[in-house]
Amino acid sequence: MKIEILGSGCAKCHETERRVQAALVQTGKSAEVEHLYDMKAIAQRGVMFTPAVAIDGQVMIAGKVPAVEDIVKLLG
């Protein structure tokens, strides 16, 4: 599984990444976590508001810092 955090590197983006890591620990799942900072590449994915979270290439959350519980649900 590959999880991407899409955002400019602001505090909200870093908090989103921290929550993704917390959700992975909580579920016991492993994933490659990558932070994508290139706003042009982010826009090409159709994301207009950051932070965003993509799982295996599919944008699942955009425009807000998700709760750990919401990320856990996405991880299944």
**CATH code of the domain occupying 2-75:** 3.40.30.10
Q: pTM of the prediction? A: 0.93
What string of DSSP letters covers 32-71? EEEEE--HHHHHHTT--SSSEEEETTEEEEESS---HHHH
Residue spans of the domains in the chain: they are 2-75
Model pLDDT for residues 17-57, shown as the tens digit of each residue: 999 999 999 999 999 999 999 999 999 999 999 999 999 99
Residue 35 confidence (pLDDT): 96
Residue 31 DSSP one-character state: -
12, with CB counted inside 10 A (0-12, 13-18, 19+), is middle
Residues carrying an active site annotation: 10, 13
Distances in whole angstroms, Cα of residue 7 to Cα of each of 10, 28, 45, 47, 72: 7, 25, 12, 10, 20
